[in-house]
Amino acid sequence: MPTRVIDLGDSSTATEPKLCITGGRHGRYMALSYSWGEGVRHKIQLEKKTIEPFQTAIPEQNMTCSHREALGIARNLGYRYVWIDAVGIIQDDKADWAKESTRIADVYGNAELTLVAGRSDDSRLGFIEQVSTIPGIRCRLRYSRPGTEIPDDSHCFVSLRRSQATGPVDQRAWCFQESVLARRMIVYGEQQLSFRCRHRSDWEDGNYILYRWSAGGRYDISADALKDPHLTKEAILKRWYALSMHYSTKDIFDATDNFAALAGVAVRFQEALGSRYLAGLWEADMIRGLLWKSRRVLGGPFTQNAMKKPLAVKKARYGRRHKGLMTEDSKIGVPIGAAQLIRMV
């Protein structure tokens, strides 16, 4: 389990949530992946002064809406323990944030379920309520197929296609890492819910996708998968470069979090490659890592905007899911790798 989790207590008794220091304990828990929102500072968050009182009780009624909704879902699904970054990481302690951010791979990799608040870009507003408009009511039609066992009075339903998009959270660098590391997810998407694991994704409207290692999309980077003896280092590196290209298109609030927001993924790859990780580059593949190309050449998202030097983020807190990258005139993706970092400086 993570260093700290929210303990909801026994489901048979109504108790206030409290902070649990796990001490390396094993157990089932749910994690939340969400966007804080621009400039959001949670009323209830873990700080040095709140560590002790939170172990007695966390005032749930004062928590941010997305946090309250996540705890409600956890109770309904039978989870006693929940990990939420704002309450699991000490927000006014740089050392704790640095230490816990390197454990993100285990936090989401060990979680039995990750709840993704995909449709909300502001945690104060919550995510259960539908934000975007869902296509109109479906139409019920009679049909039959001669020469088959389908009864003549069978019906099918026809409606406009519903979007499979996750929503604003899908554009956040930190949340991208979490989606890569998670074992299985329930995603509150723009127009429908979906369930996703390392083998497939299923949407409410009946659509589904099956995944294979070479198919892209979901990246299976579990410790066991990357240690497969039949998997070559070249194949692992190829996956790293594909993943980092997608990562470079995501938004991040504080440009100095560029490497931290992918640190958990890097840990998994380091275990598999046995190579030193140097500012986005692998020592075992340094030359190729220094050779980068424009996203337009690689078929990535097209943009006419040049990379701009990020503005300093004054008095930035350690909450990481704010909206957008602070730049001089635009919001753009953050590249990784030494050569790409030079373009930012």
The pLDDT of residue 218: 55
- Residue 182's nearest CA partner among 216, 221, 236 is 221
Lowest mean pLDDT among 88-92, 160-164, 213-217, 330-334: 330-334
Break the chain down into helix, strand, coil percent, rounded to 5.
35, 15, 50
Look at residue 294 and tell me whether its pLDDT is greater than 80.
Answer: no
Token pair 């030193």 in the structure block, residue? 276
Give me the long-range contacts of 125-131 (CB less than 8 A, separation at least 24). Answer: 125/37, 125/65, 125/66, 126/65, 126/66, 126/68, 126/69, 127/34, 127/66, 127/69, 127/188, 128/69, 128/73, 128/188, 130/191, 131/167, 131/190
| CB neighbour class for 337 (10 Å; exposed up to 12, middle 13-18, buried from 19) | buried
If one compares 24 and 30, the residue with the highest pLDDT of the two is: 30
pLDDT at 331 over 80: no
pLDDT of residue 338: 38
Binning pLDDT at 50, 70 and 90, where does residue 128 land? very high
**Which percentage of the chain shows pLDDT scores above 70?**
78
Query: What tokens does 27 get?
Result: 């157990």
Tokens read off for 38: 């621009």
Query: Can you give the pLDDT at residue 306?
Result: 53
Can you list the pairs that 83-86 forms with residues at least 24 positions away whose Cβ atoms lie under 8 Å?
83/2, 83/4, 83/5, 83/6, 83/29, 83/30, 83/31, 83/32, 83/107, 83/111, 84/6, 84/31, 84/32, 85/32, 85/319, 85/320, 85/321, 86/36, 86/42, 86/44, 86/45, 86/46, 86/319
Q: Report the distance separating Cα 163 and Cα 207, nearest Å.
A: 11
**pLDDT for position 21:** 96
Work out the average pLDDT over 179-200. 91
Highest mean pLDDT among 109-118, 193-202, 231-240: 109-118
pLDDT of residue 272: 86
Is the per-residue pLDDT at 70 higher than 90? Answer: yes
**How confident is residue 223, by pLDDT bands cut at 50, 70 and 90?**
low
Rounded distance between C-alpha atoms, residue 247 and residue 177, angstroms: 8
CB 18 within 8 A of CB 55: yes
Q: What is the pLDDT of residues 31-41, one digit of tens each?
A: 999 999 887 88
For 313, other C-beta atoms within 10 Å of its C-beta total: 15
Contact 335, 248 (CB under 8 A): yes
From residue 341, alpha-carbon distances to 215, 244, 246, 265, 326 in Å are 29, 13, 16, 18, 16
Q: Picking from 192-196, 254-258, 293-297, which range would have the lowest pLDDT averaged per residue? A: 293-297
Q: Are 184 and 114 in contact (CB under 8 A)?
A: yes
Q: Are 190 and 165 in contact (CB under 8 A)?
A: yes
- Mean of per-residue pLDDT scores for the chain: 80
Range 278-287 average pLDDT: 91
pLDDT above 60 (res 5): yes
* pLDDT one-digit tens code per residue, 239-254: 888 888 888 888 877 7
pLDDT-derived band at 141, boundaries 50, 70, 90: confident
